[in-house]
Chains A and B, each alone.
Chain A
């Protein structure tokens, strides 16, 4: 069964086609063009390059976040509509887990990150144990300096992946925390496809009707409104 995977959580646009045990092809671009213009043409082009008809796709895997709200919605809208129209299963793959899945170092503490704006990052912690990826800490929003201090204090250290490598690399380096190389640090749909394959094999299915992004954060308007309301009630 072939899996088509999409990752548009960051500025990286990545689509991949994989069998459960083999990555057939991946088209990954880190440029400033919009996902909206490129995502569907890339899917079409990847299928053509892999000489695969869309009817051969057996499942869709999509990176669900955290990440850019708009980027996530473009990926999810596309994935849901593809799964619906092709009548195939859909699986949402947490973006930070997919990053860690692409860096299979046994025993190492992996710290995938995403930009959460205004000096903050989304951070989760994972570790490979006996061939499986284990979640050590679920995704949370942290100030990047607090995150660097916390990772530095962990015995054995950690390897930072994701957007914080480019955004706050210096802060982590100064704290003595290791950074992944650029090609490992970036989200790749190949990892989404193969982690998606594992989830599918474990029976995980998401609905084309109701899969939603993993935002972690509420909208700014909601946060402000809550703040104003709690001030007033005080």
Chain B
């Protein structure tokens, strides 16, 4: 049995997890800071970094204890080195390097976005590439094809805002608290998704996304109603906005899977927790004879179990990092910088 301990500190969750053979989660400790950042309407990097240095060792210790493991028992240490907030990433990277050196273990630098894709493996024992992944979060919207566990091919990404970013911005103008995604989803459940015809950008043209126009359309709609003194049904706005985002994500994903000739689709990232996206994508995949996987909600948001899972497959491939591993805040999907 191969044990990997994973560390994740790229944004506002401090997390450590112990995973056996890449698939069996023995522990997954997550210390979230969401409450701390709420009053600022978003993640404040310096506050996040301060919380990470406070939490990182207790979280590591708890992950080992909950797994009934000692640091001496693990085979390797995997850590997120990008993308993310540089000050936040550095806490995890420095911790992982010192643990690896002191305990004489291999160090593995993990790409956070690849971790999100691999979160799918934690809930589906038989799942394996080839597959097409839609990575969709507050910072990213990308379609990627995996021929095997270690080769990623970018099929398309957003030209401007990430889908999750659009959710957060629309939530802000509707005066919903941060983070906006779950709030929009809750409000949308009471609205009519066909009430307002918001635009679906770049439909029918390849695998690229654009969400900034949609965000402006929602703002314009609200401003126009305000100027005319007309009442706004906010649930309808939320539902119609969500439908516009989900329609585009589903259509582009189906297009990408057909282009790549791959019949297995996975969802990854925070927005993969959106139930409308899950149900619409499931219907589209079923209609096209494709299979769909998405992680349970706890593995959709940032967590170290997915990092340990990704690290395991790098470990098998002998893809180790040196003690000079650095944080790479703008690391891209499929990119390697060490």
Contact = CB atoms under 8 A, between A and B. Distances in A.
Interface of A: 34, 36-41, 43-44, 54, 69-70, 73-74, 76-82, 84-86, 208-210, 212-213, 215, 219-222, 225
B323 A54 contact: no
Contacts of A79: 98
Contacts of B61: 84, 209
A221 B99 CA distance: 32
B56 interface: yes
Contacts of A76: 53
Contact of B95 (A77, A209, A220): A77
A222 B47 contact: yes
Interface residues of B, number: 37
A19 B44 CA distance: 41
Chain B CB within 10 A, most for which of A77, A78, A80, A212: A77
A40 B87 contact: no
A80 B82 CA distance: 22
B26 to A, nearest CB: 19
Contacts of B28: none
A208 B57 contact: yes
Nearest to B64: A84
A39 B94 contact: yes
A78 B62 CA distance: 18
Contacts of B102: 54, 81-82, 84-86
B20 interface: no
Contacts, number: 107
A8 B217 CA distance: 49
B60 to A, nearest CB: 7
Given A70-B90, A221-B47, A81 B99 contact: yes
B-side binding surface: helix, strand, loop or mixed? Answer: helix
Q: Name the residue among A34, A40, A208, A219 with the largest chain B CB count within 10 angstroms.
A: A40
A210 B101 contact: no
Contact of B98 (A85, A212, A221, A225): A85
B25 interface: no
Nearest to B86: A70
B300 interface: no
Contacts of B99: 81, 84-85
Given A69-B87, A77-B53, A225-B40, A40 B46 contact: no
Interface class of chain A by DSSP: helix
B103 interface: yes
B141 interface: no
Interface string B75-108: 0000000000011001111111111011100000
Interface in B32-55: 39-40, 44, 46-47, 49-50, 52-54
A44 B93 contact: no
B71 interface: yes
Contact of A82 (B40, B46, B101, B323): B101
A41 B324 contact: yes
B54 A210 contact: yes
Contacts of A40: 94, 97-98, 101, 323-324
A36 B326 contact: yes
Given A77-B56, A85-B71, A219-B50, A36 B44 contact: no
A9 B61 CA distance: 26
Interface string B318-333: 0000111111000000
Nearest to B104: A54
Contacts of A41: 322-324
Contacts of A38: 324
15 contacts: A37-B324, A39-B94, A40-B94, A69-B87, A73-B90, A73-B91, A77-B94, A77-B98, A80-B95, A81-B60, A85-B103, A208-B57, A210-B57, A212-B54, A213-B53
B53 A43 contact: no
Nearest to A38: B324
B156 interface: no
A86 B53 CA distance: 19
Contacts of A213: 53
B191 interface: no
Contacts of A39: 94
A74 B323 CA distance: 13
A128 to B, nearest CB: 32
A219 B47 contact: yes
Contacts of B92: 77
Contacts of B50: 69, 215, 219
Contact of B91 (A34, A77, A219): A77
Given A81-B102, A209-B57, A74 B94 contact: yes
B284 to A, nearest CB: 42
B58 interface: yes
B46 to A, nearest CB: 4
Contacts of B323: 40-41, 44
Contact of A73 (B47, B49, B58): B49
Contacts of B93: 36
